[in-house]
Amino acid sequence: MPRMAYVLIVDDEPDSSEFVERFLQREGHRTTCVPNGREALAALINGRPDAMVLDVRMPQMDGIALLEVLRSYLRWTKLPVILLTAHANAEQVERAQELGVEHVFHKANFTLVDLQRAIAKSLPPQASPSTRAT
């Protein structure tokens, strides 16, 4: 049985973020959508997501700037971030990977199933009932 997660979606294009959100919710995940990095920081303070789906180009604070802030805090250094972008250049993708992004999807060429697999793969394994502390 796949593990359900709380996923923060950070994208300034409502059509894109709502499309991803609806799919993830149908798969059983909880989601929150925000339109830029600044609002993502506020959402991170209010809840602790298991993963983040992040666009690069956004107003106020872009995805790379958000990643740099996230990785400067110990509590967010291991947060799995998946890049889902339409306009990232090679330098931005390289910088995102330096900041720990393992999965990069281009909006024109990705499937929701691949995104779901990337989220599942990025989550830490769930402790089995026999190994969980009581």
Residues in the chain: 134
The answer to whether residue 129 scores a pLDDT higher than 50 is no
C-alpha torsion 35→39→40→43, nearest 10: -120
Q: Who wins on pLDDT, 47 or 124? A: 47
- Quick: pLDDT tens for 43-72: 998 889 999 999 999 999 999 999 999 999
Sequence-distant contacts of 62-69: CB under 8 A, at least 24 apart:
62/36, 62/37, 63/10, 63/37, 63/88, 63/92, 63/96, 64/92, 64/95, 64/96, 64/99, 65/37, 66/10, 66/37, 66/40, 66/41, 67/95, 67/96, 67/99, 67/100, 67/101, 68/99, 69/37, 69/41
- Quick: pLDDT tens for 71-87: 999 999 999 999 999 98
Query: Residue 126: its pLDDT value, please?
Result: 64
CATH H-level, domain 6-121: superfamily = Response regulator (3.40.50.2300)
Query: Residue 132: its pLDDT value, please?
Result: 39
Hey, what are 107's tokens?
């909006």
Phi, psi at 21, each rounded to 5°: -60, -50
Listed by start position, the domains of the chain span: 6-121
Q: In 100-123, which positions are buried (b, 16+ CB within 10 angstroms) versus exposed (e)?
A: ebebbbebeebeeeebbebbeebe
